[in-house]
Amino acid sequence: MALTQHQKDVFGLAVEALECNGCKAMDHAAATRVQSSSLPGQRPIIEWAVDYLACLPAIDCLRKLVIRAHLAPEGQWTCLEIRQCGGAMRGFYSRLSARQLLAEGDRYLERP
């Protein structure tokens, strides 16, 4: 369950894009140099965020574990939670990879 800061940043961007409902004043932007709007030739960030978060596990308890791992990983994790979250993360990132959504998130983050 060792997530990189990059993975956390992209996940945070998707969550905030939906929470702000497309507003240009995202708090996350200051920390990660995020584009709040899309460049010419890119689809809107809201569409990407919806597709990105649609890759979360369908089972509620697994979805909550994946979200917790990205947004609030501190605290006590049981052995069962770690094992379940690991499997859910593999599935989540394989779906993102298959749909090239992580790479698209990179473009919104303007990674050097």
- How far is the C-alpha of 51 from the C-alpha of 30, rounded, in Å? 24
- How far is the C-alpha of 7 from the C-alpha of 9, rounded, in Å? 5
- How far is the C-alpha of 53 from the C-alpha of 62, rounded, in Å? 13
- Average pLDDT for residues 24-33, to the nearest whole number? 44
Structure tokens that stand for 16 in this block: 């905030």
- How far is the C-alpha of 43 from the C-alpha of 97, rounded, in Å? 18
The pLDDT, as a whole number, for residue 108 is 87
Q: Considering the chain, what percentage of its residues have pLDDT values greater than 70?
A: 78
- Average pLDDT for residues 88-102, to the nearest whole number? 96
- Average pLDDT for residues 88-110, to the nearest whole number? 93
